[in-house]
Amino acid sequence: MTYTFLQHYWCFVVSLLGAILVFLLFVQGANSVARSLGYTEEGRRLVYNSTGRKWEFTFTTLVTFGGAFFASFPLFYSTSFGGAYWLWMLILFTFVLQAVSYEFQNKLGNILGPRTFQFFLTLNGILGPLLLGGAVATFFEGSNFIVEKNNLIDAGAITPIISRWANASHGLDALLNPWVLVFGFAVVFLARVLGILYVMNNVDDEDIRSRGSMRLIGAAVPFLVLFVAYLVHLLLKDGFAYNDEGIIYMEPNKYLTNLLEMWYLLAILLTGIVLVLYGILRTISSKNYFGGIWPAGIGTVLTVLALLLCSAWNHTAYYPSTADLQSSLTLENSCSSEFTLTTMFYVSLLVPFVLAYIVHAWHAIDKKKLTKDELQGDDHAY
Amino acid sequence: MFNHLLLDIDASTIDWSRAQFALTAIYHWLFVPLTLGLAVIMGIMETCYYRTKDEFWKQTAKFWQKLFGINFAMGVATGIILEFEFGTNWSNYSWFVGDIFGAPLAVEGIVAFFMESTFVAVMYFGWKKVSPGFHLASTWLTGLGATISAWWILVANAWMQYPVGCEFNPDTMRNEMVSFAEVALSPFAVSKFCHTVTSAWIIGAVFCVGVCCWYLLKKRETKMALESMKIGAAVGLAAALLTGVTGHKSGMDVAEVQPMKLAAMEALYDGGTEQGLKIVEGIEIPYGLSLMATNDPHGFVPGINDILNGYTTADGKTEISVDEKIERGKKAIAALSGYRAAKFASSDDGSIAAAHLKVLKENMPYFGYGYIKDKNAMIPPVAINFWAFRVMVGMGCLFILFFAVVLAGAYQFPKALWKKRDITALPAWHYWVAIALIPLAYIASESGWLVAEFGRQPWTIQDMLPTWASVSDIQSSSIIITFFLFLILFTTMLAVEINIMLNQIKKGPQL
């Protein structure tokens, strides 16, 4: 294994985790439409209990995504998290609210009342995907930071910090970029699409399923408009490239070039998009088809994976700086040492085993669809 | 080019970053030990159900699992913030040692956290969906996942106390891992894990016994209370004894690699051989500290002044003064600067860079001291360390006695002593004492963390990187806002959790 292979391998692992995380945002998406999808108190409870059996997967994937990014590309962790402080803090804040909301909302002694926690779930359902989507969009649009490693040897400095944000907004400035918002809202509506598809599959309830088809159109149309708009923008925009000496420069149509030069990514991207469309369209057109979450979910993973790899492979700066081009992060200049990447490579071989038991446990819990009757007899129901 | 743009943050950024991390860690540790402790207790109860098929054990296990569930979410929620705060608030740290420190966090996620979160769902919702064997396995795997998670987090923390398995790379300007085994199996990490996890079992056990005592006080659920109490007290006694043993090993580790922390724990300014262990100021156990620190009643233990001014141990090993360390640290930083300048200069044929590299390597063990301006900054907060250590040890001893008495009472052993007494019908104050011990167990446990973390100050990584070289470049006002946001959020959620927990206990099991 060469160092370059390991860098690309870990980029793949982190991108795959990111792609799975976007799929698992169906939890947030369903929560954001729980009020209209569930319609009645009983229906809403069904929706929350359906997503409530999966929220820990989303949470765990987010944690593992962060841990894997830290281990493999510590300069990204240092620069983005320390710089875009407010963006990440808001993301964390909404996820913390979500984590406690399921367990607390309907428990005896909940002094804040169930509606408070349902509001938290809705808030996380909208802000979580929006901000995570916005953070991902900065991989293409750039961020306002500077990295200077020589600050470490300034012993006279009070704090010899190597990276900083070049303005005082600490990440919130990203939300002023309309294309970041376009991508962020595309993720919000994608999460809703996936959430509706998931609930329709997981809950055996005539009312929710019939309402789901209608709500699906309302989420799918804005998602497709926003996604296509961003995709066209991405393919036409200049990208952040670097040469063999590590010098970063702007290259016209870089991301289009990447997809053409890495034809397999283009194939993955197109397959993903087709699967998402298939999942949506078949669910809308067929009254008896409720398995749309699977093609749409797999399609989402493939699409996001292809986009993330397109942002980093083929001599592309994956975390570009708009304040100082040469501070941009590439796989080469931000990764861990060869020893650490090799060690972590062996650890990553456990992933298929982990996936196997997750699938087994998921299947065991979900083989019988959730019903109102089951909730009445379940003393751990949310 | 950008050297001087970055250095305008104020000192309060450092203090507020520390405060925010401490706040999150303290809250996180209110929830995690109960998760770890109850996992063992409810695992044993469900095993009883699996073996006997007695519905009583099933309902008992479900009752404790319900309390586990109420607590679990808050542990998860506060944990994610801790992980990301390394990036948000300690970004320089994340770069300087991320090559080593990131690995345990990633392994935790892949190996432990997924196990915990997958099987906890089966444990909650799988009673009617999976076989009893699968459910039992899921309950134990939930606890195992939480324990493995603790392992990797404590490996990471132990590495901050005793950095091993790494080397500084002057080309990348960071420390890099050279031995994963040394990091993952560091003796410091092993001791820390054993001590921390067994102390967490104490909290689970005290909580269990305390709740049982409330039922006995109210003369309700007597059978469930008595049987749960037997399991809780047995786990608690074993845990308290193990915590004592592992605590002694941890103390020896600290004496070896963090002598300043030990000196602060003892408020020992001038050390020497045959040092006594202070119970409180003025009362001490003769030879106790030497014995604790070195396993030898005549062993040498340095004090704060010895460490600042340099000392020679009984076996002739010389430790240089902090002033000398600062000088050598500055030499290391200057050599690194010279190395980087020479490396990028076209005029150097490699000899100048090599000379700087040689100086850097000779002084690298003191690199972190190069950032120290005042040697007195090396002294951790003595009063906090001194009293927190005493609270932790004192409460630990009390718990050994407490669990021994409860266990003896529950099993009526020896019979002669208990023949006229029934532990289910004692005077009320007995039960109130047990209930009052629940918050004290938390105070003892948090005190342990205060010793561990305050004792390491001013270092984020012992002798390698001080706090002011670890922080992110953020205005203190931003951190103050997030500090209070988290304070309000965590405190509110804690209040909600306690109220829900009390209501659930009042409701009781469905026997």
The contacts of residue A270 (CB under 8 Å, 6+ apart) are none
Q: pLDDT tens for residues B359-411?
A: 999 999 999 999 998 999 999 999 999 999 999 999 999 999 999 999 999 99
Measured over the CA atoms of residue A173, residue A178, residue A183 and residue A186, the dihedral's sign is: positive
Mean pLDDT of A140-165: 84
Chain B closest-CA separation from residue A131 CA (Å): 15
Rounded mean pLDDT of chain B?
Answer: 93
The β-bridge partners of B208 are none
Q: Is the pLDDT of residue B16 over 90?
A: yes
Tally the C-alpha atoms within 13 A of residue B166's C-alpha that lie toward its C-beta: 29
- Check CB contact under 8 Å for A70 and B106: yes
Report d(CA A181, CA A197) in Å as an integer. Answer: 24
Distance CA B326, CA B378 (A): 11
Task: Check: CB of residue B302 under 8 Å from CB of residue B258.
Answer: no
Place of tokens 């980093």: A312
CA dist., res. A321 & res. A327, Å (int) = 6
* pLDDT higher than threshold 90 for residue B317: no
The pLDDT assigned to B477 comes to 92
- What average pLDDT does this structure show over B232-257? 95
Q: Which residues pair with A251 in a beta bridge?
A: A239
Q: How many helices (H) and strands (E) does chain A have?
A: 18, 4
Residue A327 distance to chain B (closest CA, Å): 11
Within A189-277, strands assigned E span 239-242, 248-251
H/E stretch holding A124 reads helix A114-141
What mean pLDDT comes out for the span A6-29?
Answer: 96
Least reliable range by pLDDT among A3-7, A103-107, A266-270, B209-213 = A103-107
User: B301, B289 in Cβ contact below 8 A?
Assistant: yes
CB B463 within 8 A of CB B1: no
Closest CA to A330 of A306, A351, A348, A314: A314
Q: Give A299 or B351, the one with higher predicted confidence.
A: A299
pLDDT of residue B1: 38
Beta bridge partners of B311: B319
Chosen from B1, B4, B7, B494 to mutate, greatest number of chain A CBs within 10 A = B7
Confidence at B9, pLDDT banded by 50, 70, 90: low
Which tokens is B283 given?
């009362």
Instruction: Say if the Cβ atoms of B478 and A367 lie within 8 Å.
Output: no
Supply the pLDDT for residue A155.
60
pLDDT band at A382 (very low <50, low <70, confident <90, very high): confident
Model pLDDT, residue A292: 95
pLDDT of residue A156: 65
Asked if A99 and B173 come within 8 Å (Cβ–Cβ), the reply is no
Plot region of A31 (φ>0 → left; ψ -120 to 50 → alpha; else → beta): alpha
- Tell me whether strands B311-312 and B300-301 are parallel, antiparallel or unpaired: unpaired
The residue among B304, B287, B193 whose CA lies nearest residue B249 is: B193
For A64, nearest residue in chain B (alpha carbons):
B109
Distance separating alpha carbons of residues B417 and B409, to the nearest angstrom: 9
Which of B88, B116, B178 would you mutate first to test chain A, the one with the most A CBs within 10 A?
B88
Residue A158, pLDDT > 80, answer no
**Option in A158, A339, A377 nearest B177 (CB):** A339
Confidence band for B510, pLDDT divided at 50, 70 and 90:
confident
Chain centroid to CA B308: how far? 27
pLDDT at A78 over 90: yes
Closest chain A C-alpha to B190 CA, distance in angstroms: 20
Are A50 and A124 contacting, i.e. CB atoms less than 8 angstroms apart?
Answer: no
CA separation for the pair B164, B383 (Å, rounded): 29
- What secondary structure letter does DSSP report for A143? B
CA distance A247 to A330: 10
How far lies A12's CA from each of A18, A345, B112, in Å? 10, 11, 21
pLDDT in tens, B129-147: 899 999 999 999 999 999 9
Kind and range of the H or E run holding B164: none
Tokens of B88: 């948000």
Element (H or E) spanning B336, and its range?
A: helix B322-344
Farthest CA pair distance, chain A: 71
Asked if B334 and A66 come within 8 Å (Cβ–Cβ), the reply is: no
Nearest to B92 among A72, A162, A165 (CB): A162
Tokens of A45: 């409870």
Chain centroid to Cα B319, Å, comes to: 28
Instruction: Classify B273 as helix, strand or coil.
Output: strand
Tokens of B321: 């003064």
Q: What pLDDT is attached to residue A1?
A: 87
Phi-psi region of B501 (alpha: psi -120 to 50; beta: other; left: phi over 0): alpha
Going by pLDDT thresholds of 50, 70 and 90, the confidence category of residue B494 is very high
Say if the Cβ atoms of A78 and B79 lie within 8 Å. Answer: no
pLDDT at B4: 38
Nearest to A296 by CA among A284, A308, A312: A284
From A81, A93, A165, residue closest to B87, measured CB to CB: A81
Locate B440 and state its tokens: 């004290």
Torsions phi, psi for B509 (to 5 deg): -75, 160
Segment of A108-112, A146-150, B398-402, B406-410 carrying the highest mean pLDDT: B398-402
What does the pLDDT read at residue B2?
A: 38
Q: What are phi and psi of A321, to 5 degrees?
A: -105, 130
Query: In terms of C-beta density within 10 A (0-12 exposed, 13-18 middle, 19 or more buried), how is residue A257 classed?
Result: middle
Among candidate residues A79, A37, A127, the one with its CA nearest the CA of residue A327: A79
Burial label for B395, CB within 10 Å (0-12, 13-18, 19+), is buried
pLDDT exceeds 50 at position B311: yes
3-state DSSP: chain B helix, strand, coil percent, rounded to 5? 75, 5, 20
CA distance B511 to B500: 20
Res. A151 pLDDT band, cuts 50 70 90: confident
DSSP secondary structure letter of residue B276: P
pLDDT at position B420, please?
75
Burial (Cβ within 10 Å: 0-12, 13-18, ≥19) of residue B344? exposed
Domain borders along chain A are: 3-377
Q: Which of B85, B94, B176, B504 to mutate to test the interface with A (most CBs of A within 10 A)?
A: B94
Rounded to whole angstroms, the Cα distance separating B248 from B388 reads 16
Mean per-residue pLDDT, A33-39: 90
Cα separations in angstroms, A272 against A186, A193, A213? 15, 15, 21
Q: Average pLDDT in the B80-85 region?
A: 91
Evaluate whether A127 touches A94 at the Cβ level (below 8 Å).
yes
pLDDT above 50 for B90 = yes
* Closest-approach residue (CA) in chain B for A109: B500
- Each residue of B452-489: b (16+ CB within 10 Å) or e? bbbbbbbbbbbbbbbbbbbbbbbbbebbeebbeebeeb
Distance (Å) from the alpha carbon of A261 to chain B's nearest alpha carbon: 31
pLDDT of residue A376: 81
d(CA A113, CA A106): 8
Among candidate residues A171, A94, A380, the one with its CA nearest the CA of residue B135? A380
pLDDT for position B135: 96
Predicted confidence at residue A314, as pLDDT, reads 96
When pLDDT is averaged across residues A60-89 and rounded to a whole number, the result is 93
Which amino acid, B249? K
> Residue A380: pLDDT band by 50, 70, 90 thresholds?
confident
pLDDT value at A157 more than 70: no
- Domain range summary for chain B, segments of one domain joined by +: 13-258+382-507, 268-379
Bridge partners for A242 per DSSP: A248
Work out the minimum CA distance from A160 to partner chain B, whole angstroms: 6
DSSP for residue B108: I
Of B95, B99, B121, the CB nearest to A53: B121
Mutation target to probe the B interface, by most B beta carbons within 10 A, among A152, A329, A362 is A152
Whose CA is closest to B494, among B146, B213, B73?
A: B73
CA–CA separation, A295 and A272 (whole Å): 9
* Closest CB to A96 among B66, B81, B495: B81
How far away is chain A from the Cα of B427, in angstroms, using its nearest Cα? 30
Q: What is the pLDDT of residue B5?
A: 40
Share of chain A above pLDDT 70, in %: 99
User: Which residue in chain B has the smallest CA separation from A347?
Assistant: B107
Looking at residue A218, what is its pLDDT? 95
Cβ density class A259-287: b for 16+ within 10 Å, e for less: beebeebbebbeebbebbeebbeebbeee
Q: Is the pLDDT of residue A290 over 60?
A: yes
Average pLDDT of the residues in B58-67: 95
Locus of tokens 């065991």: A364
Mean per-residue pLDDT of chain A: 93
Give the mean model confidence (pLDDT) for residues A3-28: 96
CB pairs under 8 A between A and B: 323
Chain B contact probe: residue of A6, A27, A77 with most B CBs at under 10 A: A77
**Which residue of chain B has the CA closest to A162?**
B92
Chain B residue whose CA is closest to A349: B110
* Distance separating alpha carbons of residues B373 and B421, to the nearest angstrom: 65
Chain B residues touching residue A377 (CB < 8 angstroms): 128
Is the pLDDT at B112 greater than 60, yes or no?
Answer: yes
